[in-house]
Structure 1
Amino acid sequence: MPPMMSTFFPPLILISLHCFTTSASDPDPVQDFCIPDPKYGSIRAADHLTILPCKNSSDATPDDFVFSGMKSAGNFSETGLAAIPVNPIIFPGINTLGMSFIRADLKAAGINPPHFHPRATEISYVVQGSVYSGFVDSSNRIFARTIEEGEVMVFPRGLVHFQMNVGDKPATIFGCFNSQNPGSQKIPAAIFGSGIDEMLLEKAFGLNPQQIGMMRRRFGPRVK
């Protein structure tokens, strides 16, 4: 086995075991696989589990179980994060299998803001770079440290977690979820972009109306 593969392969085994042997947040499948039959439509973003009929298993091909859309980074946000989430909407081969995954790239000093996944535990593997990673438990205790290339950190289901590139080069992370629809809520957008009453926000955070307005303009929904 080449040297590069010898360091890369064991973490991928760990991630695979997490995806397929952890107590799943989705129902167990009742067949080997279910590739949605395209003649009945496609999976919608709002669907947790598809209700579309499966195409005949004899019509499945190896291409149904291969995804090639993670070879390079996605588009970067203003926080220096580029994320490519992979779920049955864009990769039908994982439909009903109780898993999904993500490629995340961080520019130097880029961050993945505090967020949580209500329906899944996540395992995060650093492919390259040095990433300050952590989560906060329900007693507000923080568990955080810098993880380096080849290291893995787990973020328990429903707990707020975050990442920041603390190296001087771009970082790449591979994340795996034990749900095909983990959901994601970013804390700043959930608080200031959801329409919560302004007076409540003022009292909760000690901010004045001008500051609340600034936060809402920054984290509120973008008008196209």
Structure 2
Amino acid sequence: MFPGLSVLLVTILSLRSQFTSGSDPDPVQDFCIPDTKYGSIRTPQFKILPCKNSSEATTDDFVFSGIKAEGTFTDTGLSSISINPAVFPGLNTLGMSFVRSDLKPGGFNAPHFHPRATEITYVVQGSVYSGFVDSTNRVFARVIEKGEVMIFPRGLVHFQMNVGKSMATIFGSFNSQNPGMQKIPTAVFGSGIRDELLEKAFGLSHKQISVMRRRFVPKT
């Protein structure tokens, strides 16, 4: 575990209070640990479960140890571990979630957006080309270094790439417990949009569209 990591996490999560009004409802009680005897919260919609009696809650409900090391890397050189109420029940109803991302040298997080949350990212180590595009197609991007923070406004396309010679590690925090994510390449070429439209929109041939589909259709 990185020195001072616990302090960094507290800092990131506290910055959440500086976001604009969150997309999740305000909590009406101190906390709500889901009572799993009524089912599982592990669904794409984060199934709403009754809360445990608060007297049954323990300190362990509010501690998560699953980001001490990087996860599995994809072929883009990205490892990403998402932490939300499905894996960390203590977050339930608190209107936030977070992520640890690791990037190999040259690795990248493809352009994507979160429809339900603003994201704040903190570079723990490395040099990361990071940015977003606003609704006028203006790009806001630069290389951010260890100790620097960047904001990605809600719903705007953003991206990251390790431009250093060593591993980069980033922590991100969201002002929603279910921010959602759509990766642009997968949404365009892996969703089933008709080839004819994609050919016209991107000026690509049918063969080129087929190549892109094979690359971005989600594997089952």
Question: Which TM-score applies when normalising by structure 2?
Answer: 0.94
Whole-Å separation in 1 of the counterparts to 2:10 and 2:33: 24
Counterpart position of 1:129: 126
Structure 1 residues 210 and 172: CA distance shift in structure 2, 3 A: same
Consecutive unaligned residues of structure 2, counting only runs of 5 or more, are: none
Q: 1:57 aligns with which of 54, 68, 73?
A: 54
Q: 2:95 aligns with which of 94, 98, 103?
A: 98
Any conservation in 2 of the 1:18–1:178 contact (CA below 8 Å)?
Answer: no
Q: How much does 1:21 deviate?
A: 4.8
Q: 1:212 aligns with which of 195, 209, 212?
A: 209
Which secondary structure does the structure 1 equivalent of 2:154 belong to?
Answer: coil
Whole-Å separation in 2 of the counterparts to 1:25 and 1:203: 36
Which secondary structure does the structure 1 equivalent of 2:60 belong to?
Answer: helix
Q: How much does 1:12 deviate?
A: 4.9
Aligned-residue Cα RMSD (Å) equals: 1.6
Give the share of equivalent positions with the same residue, in percent: 69
Which residues in structure 2 correspond to 1:177-196 (within 5 Å)? 177-196=174-193
Counterpart position of 2:43: 45
Whole-Å separation in 1 of the counterparts to 2:219 and 2:13: 36
Consecutive unaligned residues of structure 1, counting only runs of 5 or more, are: none
Which secondary structure does the structure 2 equivalent of 1:126 belong to?
Answer: strand
Which secondary structure does the structure 1 equivalent of 2:95 belong to?
Answer: coil
Any conservation in 2 of the 1:8–1:150 contact (CA below 8 Å)?
Answer: no
Which secondary structure does the structure 2 equivalent of 1:70 belong to?
Answer: coil
Whole-Å separation in 2 of the counterparts to 1:157 and 1:207: 31
Which secondary structure does the structure 2 equivalent of 1:202 belong to?
Answer: helix
- State the one-letter code of the partner of 1:208: S
Which secondary structure does the structure 2 equivalent of 1:188 belong to?
Answer: helix
